[in-house]
Structure 1
Amino acid sequence: MKKTVLFLACGLLLSSMTFAQKFGYINSAELLQAMPEIKKANADAEAYAKTFQEQLQTMGKEYESKVQAYQASEKTMSDAVKEVKVKEIQDLQARIESFNQSAQEKVGKKKEELYKPVLEKADKAIKDVAKEKGFDYVFDTSSNVLLYAKETDDILPLVKTKLGIK
């Protein structure tokens, strides 16, 4: 009887070990902040954005001065001159808005370009550590995303077969 119980206990232990999976987690935001490369990427992105900010400030000052000049002499202007001045101010405002939108897009692309190698390096390190330490899954606590999963746990081929999809 003792042998049977011992045998069943060993069998249960072995079967549970084969189904045991190792989970890990990481805060990728904290990892990125600790990487020296991110500091340089942030500084480069800020410097790039600053060039656009300076141009926007110059355009903003020009806009303010045109509005003030218009307001100061509006009463003495003819309707035709008022119309021209208002059109100039509106055109400048449209240029500022267009420039601002373009600048934001360019800064966004520059950030992507600067951060891409840092993100790839971090991702590779996470996956390498996961494989080396035998983790089946690694989750990111900063974004609740699965960062790594063993390829052997992908059931897509099995589901496709079940549905008759090649």
Structure 2
Amino acid sequence: MQKLITWMMAALLLGFTATAANAQKFGYVDSEFIMSKLPAYAQAQQELNTLSGNWQKDIESQKRDLDKLYRNYQAEEVVLTEPMKKKRQDEILKKEQDIKAYQNKIFGFEGQLFKKRQELTKPVQDQVFEAIEKVAKKKQLAIVFDKSGDLTMLYTNPVHDYTEFVLEELGLASEDRNQPAQKGAVRTVTTPTAPAGVEEGTAEEAAPTRTKTSARPASRKN
């Protein structure tokens, strides 16, 4: 089944490429590289990292409270009556459930971090997509691929790279700013590890939040 899907995707891509080569122009851009050049995107990432760290500290604090409840119960278990044991056990269980619920609320699918990421990054993404659309119309491109997307591009000819034109459209193509990205992964928000004894929430996004090293071509088109 996986081979069939892979073959179908390859055939579809080949069909698109053949159509573009025979009739219309196509190109690609590196959206992650472009967004890394936008101050608003860097600011959004910094704010998300700060929020994520604060929420993680809150969870760690709740975890310490849970550990304290459990240690106290263990130390006093031998002198507790059965009703008292039951009450203390229920307190510990409720604390565990509260931590899990809070973690899912913050870091789970469509949790607060997910919604905040959308709120902060969507305006930047819309700005980039609008610039890409303008470049596509100016250059009469029928298809524009995203080099940093899920579509794997095994080889890219720099002559089809329109990333620089998008940067120009955004006013970021000056000599001191439109430079190749430094080697290494782009920093993104990492979902914190769940406290001990608590299952992790469902992974979010869209994410994406994928990390990728972006390199700029040396050539330039007219």
- Tell me the TM-score normalised to structure 1 length: 0.71
Indicate which of 141, 151, 156 corresponds to 2:147. 141
The correspondence of residues 33-72 of structure 1 with structure 2, limited to 5 A, is: 33-72=36-75
Output the amino acid matched with 2:65.
E
Indicate which of 119, 130, 138 corresponds to 2:136. 130
The higher radius of gyration belongs to 1
- How many residues matched? 127
Indicate which of 107, 112, 122 corresponds to 1:106. 112
The correspondence of residues 112-123 of structure 1 with structure 2, limited to 5 A, is: 112-123=118-129
> Per-residue deviation at 1:140?
1.0
- Look up the match of 2:96: 93
> Per-residue deviation at 1:126?
0.7
Which ranges in structure 2 are unaligned for 5 or more consecutive residues?
A: 1-21, 153-222
- Look up the match of 1:148: none
Deviates more, 1:127-136 or 1:48-57: 48-57
Q: In structure 2, what is the Cα distance between the partners aligned to 1:23 and 1:133?
A: 9
Where in structure 1 do 4 or more consecutive aligned residues deviate above 4 Å? Answer: none
RMSD between aligned residues: 1.6
Which ranges in structure 1 are unaligned for 5 or more consecutive residues?
A: 1-18, 146-166
Q: In structure 2, what is the Cα distance between the partners aligned to 1:51 and 1:41?
A: 15
- Look up the match of 2:206: none
Q: In structure 1, what is the Cα distance between the partners aligned to 2:52 and 2:96?
A: 20
Output the amino acid matched with 2:144.
V
Q: In structure 1, what is the Cα distance between the partners aligned to 2:37 and 2:136?
A: 19
- Tell me the TM-score normalised to structure 2 length: 0.54
> Per-residue deviation at 1:49?
2.2
- SS of 1:137's equivalent? strand
